[in-house]
Amino acid sequence: MHNIITIVGARPQFIKAATLSRQFIKYGINEKIIHTGQHFDANMSEVFFEEMDIPTPAYNLNINGVTHGAMTGKMLEGIEKILLQEQPDGVLVFGDTNSTLAGSLAASKLCIPVIHVEAGLRSFNMAMPEEINRILTDRISNLLFCPTDTAVQNLKREGFDSYQVQIVKNGDVMQDAALYYAQKAQEKSRIISQLGLTDFVLATIHRQENTDDPVKLQAIISGLNNINKMVQVVVPLHPRTRNILQQMNIKPSFTIIEPVGYFDMIMLLKHCKLVVTDSGGVQKEAFFFGKHCITLREQTEWIELVEHGFNRIVGTNTDLLQEAFQYFSSKQSDFAVDLYGNGRAAEVAVAEIIKN
């Protein structure tokens, strides 16, 4: 494959795409990017393209602010039109968002091979829109790049061995990004001094299952308010969470900042004491930067972090959150374990894409 259409739409996909785009350029592959517009604020989109030198999208569908079904439907229609025009050799999708599903569905219906980076991940929670997106995308993908052994095993358990597909364990492209951009972040970001941060906990909250349930959201806010009495909690707040907190008239006592760019995020991860999050990517990044993580969900796709004692799953239980905070506050861990590859995941993937 030499002509690739890449579909991105949400913040974590820009970060993942940056790693592949760099390799495409290196290997002379012609890549055109479609931005679905799922995330559109400058600090949720533009900043990543600028900082990470991601090629400017050839197309921007500007689809956002509608329900899951409407969003996926509109994207499907928009992407199909472009694919018919461009006739690429393959369509590359990342992760588990509506953009991932719409892109893979549009391509597979046109018999264009689908390449899925971050294939095989499962939370086994079908109430998560992300779980639906990733299962369906995997099923219609032709080239499945799995970040971990667990992801490969998940596909095998679902019978993928008997399908005409190629499964490759390439490692985690987010590890590539963390390694590649850490130095640049160190040079460019001023966030630690600007905010005068010394001892702090970094937290992020945006998962729909948490933000859309007032009881759960209130529990998370109370838990973080409690921790904030002992050590400063800093939260770069996702726009969805911000809107809901405003609607519910909840005013947290911890430090809220606007969503930050990737360089600032790296510096926050590097300097924090501990991470509390419901994000998928941030759980791993905590590990990349040698920090323990408390996960505000009932399950995780990144089970190896829990098995190694780097991550604790607490759901939205404030007692468990408190307990995990106390436990990790005094725990020392050796993070020098190779769980996600050596920072060459994108290179391995692109080498494989070229062969197809």
Minimum Å gap between C-beta 326 and ligand UDP is 25
> Which residue, 36 or 204, has its beta carbon nearer to ligand UDP?
204
How far CA 103 is from CA of 8, 44, 332, in Å, comes to 9, 20, 43
Asked if 121 interacts with ligand UDP (CB under 6 A), we say: no
Of 1, 7, 8, 12, the one binding ligand UDP by CB under 6 A: 12
Q: What tokens does 213 get?
A: 């349930």
By CB under 6 A, the residues from 257 to 286 that bind ligand UDP are 259-260, 262, 265, 279-282, 285
Contacts with 73 (C-beta within 8 Å, 6 or more apart), sequence order: none
Of 113, 236, 341, 343, the one binding ligand UDP by CB under 6 A: 236
Residue 217 CB neighbour total at 10 angstroms: 19
> Which residue, 82 or 302, has its beta carbon nearer to ligand UDP?
302
Which DSSP state fits 199? S
- Clarify whether 68 is annotated catalytic: no
User: What phi-psi label fits residue 313: left (phi over 0), alpha (psi between -120 and 50 degrees) or beta?
Assistant: beta
Which DSSP state fits 162? G
> Which residue, 103 or 259, has its beta carbon nearer to ligand UDP?
259
Asked if 204 interacts with ligand UDP (CB under 6 A), we say: yes
Binding-site residue total for ligand UDP (CB under 6 A)? 15
Q: What distance lies between CA 219 and its chain's CA centroid?
A: 24
Picking from 296, 193, 277, 293, the residue whose alpha carbon sits closest to that of residue 235 is 277
Minimum Å gap between C-beta 32 and ligand UDP is 23
What's the start-to-end Cα distance of the chain, in Å?
Answer: 6
Look at residue 79 and give its three-state secondary structure.
helix
Of 4, 5, 8, 15, the one binding ligand UDP by CB under 6 A: 15
Specify the stretch interacting with ligand UDP by CB under 6 A; choose among 7-15, 27-35, 139-147, 154-162: 7-15
Cα separation, 354 vs 19, whole angstroms: 16
> Which residue, 219 or 265, has its beta carbon nearer to ligand UDP?
265
Question: Where does this chain bind ligand UDP (CB under 6 A)?
Answer: 11-12, 15, 204, 206, 236, 259-260, 262, 265, 279-282, 285
- The residues that are catalytic are 206
